[in-house]
A and B are shown apart, each in its own frame.
Chain A
Amino acid sequence: MSRLGDYLEDRIGLRRRMRAMLDHPIAGGPSWARSVGFTLLFLLVVLVVTGLALMTTYAPTVEAAWASVHFTTYLMPHGWLLRGLHHFAGEAMLVFACAHLAMLAMGGAHRRPRELGFLAAVFATGAIAAECITGGVLPWDQQGYWARRVEIGIMQMGPGGSDLARLVQGGPELGQLGLTRMFAMHVVVLPLVIAALFRLRRRSEWTFAEKIAARHNTGFESYVPRQLARDLALAASTALLVGYMTNKLHGASLDAPADPASDYPARPEWYLMWLYEVRRHVHGPMEFWGTLGVPLAIGVVFVALPWIDKKMHGASIVGILAVVIAAGAMGALTYVSMERDAHDAKFQKAHAEARKRAAVAVALAKKGVPPAGPLVMLRDDPELHARALFTDKCASCHVLGDLGNKKKADAPVLDGWSTEPWIMSMLHDPDGDDRFGRTPYKGGMPSMDVAPKDDKGDFKPMSKEDMTSVAKFLATGEGEGGEKIIKDRCTTCHLYKGEGDDNGEETAPELAGYGTLPWVRAQIADPSTPATYRKNALGKHHMPKLDGELSPADIDLLARFTLAKARGQAFP
């Protein structure tokens, strides 16, 4: 060991350099503020290392980004852990950078001759915030995409904003080039800038400490052991905190893939919520100055602090004032904003829907994502597509499982439709609320076993056995007895295989093939053909035809989905 040490000392002066670092004087004795600085350096190393590991499974293209982050998070062993550590270490770095800056400003560390080191800390904090923002877009999920889209929108409001936005996103809109640019910023440009600023800060602090040490023979300590011990203690606690958060929240979340054509209730990340809140109160031409101007003003105050506060010793009143005002305002605004969202039913509903879509996309992607990307995966999934079609075309009147609104429904509830028990209840009480009760067909079909109100004594109730035979035949197509009863008793109004409807009312539907796929398909395409509900089926408040509005493939899909769900079968 010592021979290796001698060798390295001889060739690259390692021991001398280590000693110079450890024995370096620190101004004013050990301090926790300095340990925060050390912890920032530690977090930077953690982020670089976890970031490099994440880069081995990341692809910065619009089609692949979400899928590759999904792969990292859900399919690679320990991927969730790695991504979680990177995520929370990043957020911790932002929090620590702000805390560090606050401590420096309050303690007067911005005063000559330390002003350059202080400015380095101010700009490094800005660069760390930029790291968080550019990092947020890399998964190319709804959250990151929409937050950046809105932020770029704000940027465009200012003078020269269009050009700046174009520079950031590589074109007029946020797309592939924007993702590539933000990726490059996140993994190369900003880390280098941060490292350079850290180095500048250290140079400034060391030069200052050397000056003090040269002037006085006492009143300074070397870096070891007390400062080093504090540094290690704080860095270790931070590492524990990051690990705890990662484990508790099971890594970083992944929203649904970015969809520029969707409705998404965009909100920024928690650390930008205070700005979001400012934006809600400042409208019109002042909006830009309200939303970009406020952080800009805070930045300017901090940059100008060395020249505003010229007192040479003690705590800085101006610094304390700046920190208290900035932190108080940020905290209050964040609280107000989150509180309002928590009580906003509309937002909560939209948010819940977005979370649901995210869960569906994540589950689906575990089977693999097509090269055309996750949006194509979602679009081409039969169940999702069928649900979307049902929601769009059917659910304003019908109810099926969790789709549709039972209170507003004015068409039959489709759960159980065309099954034996459902037909039994139809024969007994057609005008139940879940059947014809809220439709234009109410009163059109009589009960088979309950006498009508105006009965003059000639009503013959259908026997339980006959009703069961009919239900069984209609539900399954089995049992000749049922078919015979239908032909005898139902064709006064209904058609069976094209025959019946003695009075020519053209209202009661064809019963042959009732509840089969071709029947459902025909009904969805056009209820007014002889195959289903016939001529009078397209009146007001009746079911519309979807032929021409949906493709034949979509109609077929919708029919198969509706039938399978109604009968409680698996789909697809």
Chain B
Amino acid sequence: MANTDRRNLLKVVLASGAAALCASALAPPIAYVVAKRGGAGGERWVKTVRLDQLHEGRPRKVKIVSDVRDAWKLEKDAELGAVWLIRTGDEVRALSVVCPHLGCSIGADEGGKGFSCPCHDSSFTADGKRQGGPSPRDMDALGTRITDGVVEIDFRRFRQGTPDRVEVG
């Protein structure tokens, strides 16, 4: 009787030992793979074109050129993405080209009547309001300011597929 008990105890001890050994081997790689690294996010003012290069009623797509950090790389003057600029008087509105639906690049319809996405046919009015298709929200407006006649954009990215705008970074 005592012998069986001792043997069972031994089994439990050995099994727990083996389990602990496995766990100690697995834990560091798992922790490493799921670790979150703080991203950039926040304000990033990027210079684009001069105000006098924009014309009313003609939205213009400009590339966002800035430094990009991707993992270990720092790329100077890389193309981060693009925005649509719409001029009204001396005001400029900036709309991200990234479709709020699933992130394809939104294009302008001919004649500046509005915008549409080539992937799932989301459509937007000329000022970026949601009009049809699967997009859950309006095109994402970005902050603009004009410094010495140059249009600057507060370039940010947002989560896709949600009705609310949530910044990712």
Contact = CB atoms under 8 A, between A and B. Distances in A.
A146 B64 CA distance: 19
Contacts of A172: 39, 157, 168-169
Given A167-B33, A172-B169, A266-B119, A288 B49 contact: no
Interface string A398-423: 00000000000000000000000000
Contact of A62 (B36, B70, B118, B133): B70
Contact of B134 (A146, A175, A259, A284): A284
Interface stretch (B10-18, B102-110, B138-146): B102-110
A167 B35 CA distance: 8
Contact of B104 (A146, A154, A166): A146
Contacts of B103: 149-150, 153
A523 to B, nearest CB: 19
Given A154-B102, A172-B169, A166 B160 contact: no
Nearest to B162: A157
Nearest to B70: A175
B57 to A, nearest CB: 14
Contacts of A166: 36
A262 interface: yes
Interface in A168-194: 170-173, 175-177
A150 B70 contact: no
A104 B120 CA distance: 36
Contacts of A284: 134, 136
A122 B107 CA distance: 41
A440 B62 CA distance: 29
Contact residues of B: prevailing secondary structure: loop
Given A167-B34, A176-B71, A265 B119 contact: yes
Contacts of A150: 102-104, 119
A167 B37 CA distance: 11
Interface string B18-41: 000000000000000110110100
A264 B80 contact: no
Contact of B161 (A154, A262, A347): A154
A261 B49 contact: no
B114 interface: no
A452 interface: no
Interface in A42-56: none
A493 to B, nearest CB: 31
B70 A176 contact: yes
B165 interface: no
A409 to B, nearest CB: 16
B79 interface: yes
How big is chain B's contact interface, by range? Answer: 35 or more
Given A150-B102, A283-B134, A350 B160 contact: no
Nearest to A279: B120
A263 interface: yes
Interface string B32-59: 0110110100000000011001000000
A428 B46 CA distance: 52
Nearest to A347: B118
Contacts of B6: none
Contact of B118 (A263, A283, A375): A263
A476 interface: no
Contact residues of A: prevailing secondary structure: helix
Contacts of B163: 285
Contact of A162 (B80, B97, B107, B159): B159
B81 A177 contact: no
Nearest to B168: A172
Given A150-B119, A167-B34, A287-B134, A260 B81 contact: yes
Contact of A156 (B71, B120, B161): B161
Interface string A482-493: 000000000000
A391 B99 CA distance: 24
A314 B29 CA distance: 47
Contact of A177 (B49, B63, B71): B71
B121 interface: yes
A47 to B, nearest CB: 25
Contacts of A264: 104-105, 118
Nearest to B68: A175
A173 B157 CA distance: 10
Interface of B: 33-34, 36-37, 39, 49-50, 53, 63-64, 70-73, 79-82, 97, 101-105, 107, 118-121, 133-134, 136, 157, 159-163, 168-169
12 contacts: A62-B70, A146-B104, A150-B102, A150-B119, A156-B161, A167-B34, A172-B168, A172-B169, A261-B63, A283-B133, A350-B118, A375-B79
Interface of A: 62, 146, 149-150, 153-154, 156-157, 162, 166-167, 170-173, 175-177, 259-267, 279-280, 283-285, 287-288, 346-347, 350, 375, 548-549
